[in-house]
Structure 1
Amino acid sequence: MPFAPFIGINHHGQTILLGCALLSSEDIETYRWLLRTWVDCMGGVAPKAIITDQSVPITKAIKLEMPNTRHRWCLWHIMEKQNKKFKSYKYFHEIKGAMSRCVYDSMSVDEFEASWKEFVDLYELKNNAWLYTLYKDRHRWVPTFLTDCFWAGMSTTQRNESVNAFFKGYVNSKTSLKEFVLKYDLALGAKCDKEILAEHQSRNTRYQIVTKFAAERFFQPVYTHYAFQKVMDEVRGCMYTTPSIHTDEEDLESSRWKTLVNLVICR
């Protein structure tokens, strides 16, 4: 039976299990029941954001059952399909590179729109049905359209796949439903033990700071080790950055620098 785990990330950057289901089918009504039941188990509180694979039944079910939840498609799975969708084209590698630059290098919606139009026109891809469908739903997968929501550093469902691999150590195709409940409880306990250990380490030990920046000293005692490492990465980045003043009104490099500065301040 299809195994559908609900996973999240805690403040230690660890994957946590929020629930799971074994499905008899993968149609819209089944997914609607699944989402409705899961939200009931969560005290009636739907998530603010959710990431899934690009699936029509799942997308429609989320829209009906969790209309206020920000739904994102797994970016990795979409970009991976380039190999299949463009393999018959003469400029296969050039097309892949151009699309990747549109998606990953665009720092604003306007920049993406201009870059995408140039990409489609250059390689004459206006009639490509796959690209047309993706463009219509660009707000679900293109990073620059998704900055209005907190994603805990996730843009793909790779953690979901890691959970599937994790469960293979507990269950297999011959596991009965009764055994599955017991095995799931063991797996959940193992995850909880790791979270308790990380919590203990964060409360009782400290990472050594690498600079005299006030921000680093401020976050050291209040952040978990996982979150503080993110701060230290930003601090190291600042140490190796050589800023320069641009007198141009809004050239590309200037706008990117401003975005970087805002990112550092926000974090």
Structure 2
Amino acid sequence: MKDLNSDFFYDIALDEDNKICSVFWADARTRAAYEEFDDVVSFDTTYLRNKYDIPFAPFVGVNHHGNSILLGYGLMSSKDTASFVWLFQCWLRCMRNKPPIGIITDQCRAMANAIQEVFPNTRHRWCLWHIMKKLPEKFQGMSTTQRSEGMNAFFDGFINYSTTLQQFVVQYDNAPRVKAQKEIQVDFSSLNMKVTCGSQSPIERQFQLEYTHARFEEVQTEFRSRMNCFIKETVKDDFFNTYTMKEERMWEGKCADKFFKVQLDPETKHCTCSCLLFEFRGIIYRHCLLVFGQEDAYSVP
């Protein structure tokens, strides 16, 4: 294991013949990014296999713009449990022994075994895209238009199946560098220009000040959707305020209303909803926004 100047990190695994079988590396930019965005990591080895049959295995996170970011890279000659354990241990050391809160992978048993061993307290979930991809095989005639934002979003135009290892070493850094430049431009735009609020709500104003453009525009969609939501019942006890929420919806030309339970802790201002869409999408949802609007003494946590 090598740790150069505490910034660039790499490790190499050798086989019984002293030949390289796996490599891991991460630069200073990816290590710094993980300090800020360590909540969920996606790991996938299905994107690219070169002519040496060595799959490229990037670690991917999500930044404050809702965009994917690279958090480490691996090349593996085998996809057994021992190889994944080695790679995950390298990544964990690289990230100063700070495991992610959650990790998303495909349905690889060897990978799942390695996650259980190296990240025992990390929540492991299967990738929705891989699940949806299999639906046509499992259900006759069913299809999906969901598109995976795969690793091609990073590396198309830089590397491909025919790329040699020597070319890969030269080219791999170009894609993250271009992506980092674009993120700097988006950061500059978010800091120096504001998306106009669509209401006089002080809560929306708070999001405008704190969120990046992309995230704030998502929240604005939820603000507009509040008009379809109504509080039907409120129950207050010593611990929580519980709201029964009705959301009016249309499905195939017919009313398809749904009901949800929203809980607000008056002391901590923590709000949760039975729809679980905050946990799934990572932004505050319309049901909680309506509750915060009713509880105007509270600010968004």
Q: 1:72 aligns with which of 102, 105, 125?
A: 125
Residue 243, structure 1, aligned to residue 230, structure 2: yes
Distance 1:8 1:195 in 2: 14
Distance 1:22 1:216 in 2: 45
1:138-187 alpha-carbon deviations (Å, 9 max, x no partner): xxxxxxxxxxxxxxxxxx9933x1x2353131112332223212211111
Aligned to 2:69: 16
- How has the CA–CA distance of structure 1 residues 35 and 261 changed in structure 2, closer, same or farther, with 3 Å as cutoff? same
Offset, 1:86: 3.8
Q: Which runs of 5+ in 2 are unaligned?
A: 1-53, 235-242, 247-256, 263-272, 274-285, 293-299
Distance 1:83 1:4 in 2: 27
- How has the CA–CA distance of structure 1 residues 167 and 231 changed in structure 2, closer, same or farther, with 3 Å as cutoff? same
Residue 85, structure 1, aligned to residue 150, structure 2: no
- How has the CA–CA distance of structure 1 residues 263 and 79 changed in structure 2, closer, same or farther, with 3 Å as cutoff? farther
Distance 2:201 2:213 in 1: 18
* Higher deviation after alignment, 72-81 or 35-44: 72-81
1:57-115 alpha-carbon deviations (Å, 9 max, x no partner): 1111100111111111012322332322344xxxx76xx9xxx9xxxxxxxxxxxxxxx
- How has the CA–CA distance of structure 1 residues 64 and 157 changed in structure 2, closer, same or farther, with 3 Å as cutoff? farther
Aligned to 2:199: 211
Distance 1:172 1:14 in 2: 23
Offset, 1:19: 1.3
Residue 229, structure 1, aligned to residue 217, structure 2: yes
One-letter amino acid of the structure 2 residue matched with residue 158 of structure 1: S
Q: Secondary structure at the match of 1:191?
A: helix
Offset, 1:250: 7.7
Offset, 1:242: 5.2
Distance 1:257 1:45 in 2: 34
Contact 2:245/2:287, CA 8 A, preserved across alignment: no
Specify which structure has the higher proportion of helix.
Answer: 1
Distance 2:123 2:96 in 1: 19
Residue 187, structure 1, aligned to residue 175, structure 2: yes
Q: TM-score, normalised by structure 2?
A: 0.59
Contact 1:39/1:45, CA 8 A, preserved across alignment: yes
Contact 2:231/2:244, CA 8 A, preserved across alignment: no
Q: 1:200 aligns with which of 180, 183, 188?
A: 188
Q: Secondary structure at the match of 1:72?
A: strand
- How has the CA–CA distance of structure 1 residues 242 and 55 changed in structure 2, closer, same or farther, with 3 Å as cutoff? closer
Q: TM-score, normalised by structure 1?
A: 0.66
Q: Secondary structure at the match of 1:206?
A: coil
Distance 1:263 1:51 in 2: 28
One-letter amino acid of the structure 2 residue matched with residue 241 of structure 1: N
Aligned to 1:158: 148
Q: 1:167 aligns with which of 155, 165, 178?
A: 155
Listed as ranges, the matches of 1:122-133 within 5 Å are none
Contact 2:99/2:122, CA 8 A, preserved across alignment: yes
One-letter amino acid of the structure 2 residue matched with residue 38 of structure 1: W
* Larger relative contact order (Cα-Cα within 8 Å, sequence gap ≥ 6): 1
- How has the CA–CA distance of structure 1 residues 254 and 177 changed in structure 2, closer, same or farther, with 3 Å as cutoff? closer
Aligned to 2:260: 256
Q: Give the root-mean-square deviation of aligned CA atoms.
A: 3.0
- How has the CA–CA distance of structure 1 residues 257 and 170 changed in structure 2, closer, same or farther, with 3 Å as cutoff? same
Distance 1:72 1:157 in 2: 19
Distance 1:232 1:57 in 2: 42
Q: Which runs of 5+ in 1 are unaligned?
A: 101-155
